[in-house]
Amino acid sequence: KAGVTQTPRYLIKTRGQQVTLSCSPISGHRSVSWYQQTPGQGLQFLFEYFSETQRNKGNFPGRFSGRQFSNSRSEMNVSTLELGDSALYLCASSLERGGEKLFFGSGTQLSVL
Amino acid sequence: KQEVTQIPAALSVPEGENLVLNCSFTDSAIYNLQWFRQDPGKGLTSLLLIQSSQREQTSGRLNASLDKSSGRSTLYIAASQPGDSATYLCAVSDMETSGSRLTFGEGTQLTVNP
């Protein structure tokens, strides 16, 4: 069974631009979560989607948004990039509801110059 | 607001040694607790998941315990190997989101020397 796939693996953007990251969950998994990992703040929860609906959201500004498609694939978008948005963005999937074992992708390393 | 602390931040041991990693959390109203492993530049791999009603979970050389009332968990690694070198992260999920939102500790960076 293929694992969680995140694309692209690396991204370099400049301040003010926007970026879209993609996540394909494990086949059959319906819940997708996104996390931001930085050296200073560690891992922080961004949001969770289930059946195309955002179920939970972390404490991030409105520049961070996401969506989930009918095939459970998910995208997250960051608009008006800031230097502080440089981070490893990790996607995780689980079968159904929260509280289950999470399977993480390898992440997208975003650098904002 | 839930806070998760992991001690020590880094640990270096010789191969074959048994070791314990510690995790503490401030709010005992958790849904469950998970231990993850992260290799450099990679995503996280779930090692053990302990539901709030459970006291411990075991997988191979790994054993994790949970004392919810005191807000503590430990990860015991038996007979450590160089391949165990990685960062180990503890995360708790909260009741408010029925376990969907994880709060992570900063991790313990483990080095097992041959």
Give the nearest chain B residue to A99 (CA atoms): B99
**Number of Cβ pairs closer than 8 Å across A and B?**
69
What mean pLDDT do residues B16-25 have? 97
With a cut of 80, say whether residue B98 has pLDDT above it: no
Instruction: Quickly tell me which residue has 């999470």 as its tokens.
Output: A102
pLDDT band at B101 (very low <50, low <70, confident <90, very high): confident
Low-confidence ranges of chain A (pLDDT < 50): none
Contact residues, chain A, for B34 at CB < 8 Å: 101-102
Name the phi and psi angles at A111, rounded to 5.
-115, 125
- Residues B39-72 have pLDDT tens digits of 988 889 999 999 999 999 999 999 999 999 999 9
The secondary structure of B44-107 as a DSSP string is EEEEEEEETT-SEEEETTEEEEEETTTTEEEEEE-S--GGG-EEEEEEEEETTTTT--EEE---
Tell me the chain B residues in contact with residue A104 when contact means C-beta distances shorter than 8 Å. 36, 43-46
Average pLDDT, chain B: 94
Which residues is B30 bridged to in the sheet? B94
Which carries the bigger pLDDT value, residue B103 or residue A1? B103
Angle subtended at Cα B60 by Cα B58 and Cα A91, rounded to the nearest 5 degrees? 75
Please give the pLDDT value at position B102: 92
Mutating which of A31, A45, A74 best tests the B interface, going by the most B Cβ atoms within 10 A? A45
- The answer to whether B33 touches B48, Cβ cutoff 8 Å, is no
Q: Give the pLDDT score at A35.
A: 97
% of residues, chain B, pLDDT over 70: 100
- B97 compared with A110, residue with greater pLDDT: A110
Cα–Cα dist A61/A44, whole Å:
13
* Position B25 pLDDT exceeds 90: yes
Which residues 9-28 on chain A approach chain B with CB closer than 8 angstroms? none
- Residues A9, A91: Cα–Cα separation, whole Å: 12
Closest Cα of chain B to A79: distance in Å?
23
Among A73, A81, A96, A80, smallest CA distance to A22 is for A73
Residue A60 has a pLDDT of 96
B46/A102 CB distance under 8 A: yes
CB neighbour class for B14 (10 Å; exposed up to 12, middle 13-18, buried from 19): exposed
Q: Residue A1: its pLDDT value, please?
A: 67
Q: Can you tell me whether residue B47 is helix, strand or coil?
A: strand
The pair of structure tokens assigned to B69 is: 């009332």
Q: Is the pLDDT of residue B86 over 70?
A: yes
